[in-house]
Amino acid sequence: MSHGIDLRAVPYDHPDAIRLNDQVQLEYQVRYDGEGDATFLDPAMFLPPQGLYLVAYDTSGTPVATGGWRTQDRNDEGYADGDAELKRMYVVPGARGLGLARRILAELEADARAAGRTRMVLETGDKQPEAIALYLSSGYALTEKFGYYRAYESSRCMAKPLS
């Protein structure tokens, strides 16, 4: 599967994280008619123990995947106390199908659980069927909408208990 892949915790504004974030934004634009993800993300949101940001590197040291979580608590965007929100899950096209997203997801869930978070939540969209399939097969279920895109028809929100 993902042999020789090195998962490293990095700041959200690390150059490799920025490069992969730019790529995922381009992919969103292709899938969603020119729109990227406009959710405001501050690098401080991913600083442990309030969050974690991971970049996966292949054996040549090339960054090939990312994912992070950030603390959320009850607010007017529909989050609940104890939430950890998954953000920026992305695998470059050439590294898909190796189980990287599943490995990053498991690592982020374990970290959020260790930080005392009780539920992992995420928002994706109806034009990302691979993401939806990954989350459903990893124990996530559709839930009430929250977050920046909660009013959008194409938005899909999912949750999984961490306890």
Distance CA 37, CA 30 (A): 12
Residue 114 lies in a domain: yes
Helix axes 100-114, 129-137, angle to 10 degrees: 50
Look at residue 35 and tell me whether its pLDDT is greater than 90.
no
Q: Is residue 43 in a domain?
A: yes
pLDDT at residue 1 in the model: 53
Q: What number is the average pLDDT over the span 59-65? A: 97
Q: Residue 88: inside a domain, yes or no? A: yes
Using the predicted structure, report yes or no on whether residue 3 has a pLDDT greater than 80.
Answer: no
Query: What is the 3-class SS of 101-147, one letter each residue?
Result: HHHHHHHHHHHHHHCCCCEEEEEEECCCHHHHHHHHHCCCEECCCCC
Mean local confidence (pLDDT), 53-72: 98
Please give the mean pLDDT across all residues of the chain: 96
* Rounded Cα gap, residues 131 and 57, in angstroms: 20
The tally of domains found in the chain comes to: 1
The CATH number for 87's domain is 3.40.630.30
Q: Which domain holds residue 24?
A: 6-161
Residue 163 pLDDT: 86
Question: What ranges make up the beta strands (E) of the chain?
Answer: 6-9, 51-57, 63-72, 83-91, 119-125, 141-142, 155-161
pTM: 0.95
Q: CA-CA distance, 70 to 48, in Å (whole number)?
A: 9
Q: What is the mean pLDDT of residues 60-75?
A: 97
The answer, yes or no, to whether residue 2 has pLDDT greater than 60, is no
Residue 27: count other Cβ atoms within 10 Å of its Cβ: 14
The verdict on residue 1 lying in a domain is no
- Say how far apart CA 18 and CA 16 lie, in whole Å: 5
- pLDDT tens digits, residue range 115-126? 999 999 999 999
Dihedral class, residue 88 (left if φ above 0, else alpha if ψ from -120 to 50, else beta): left
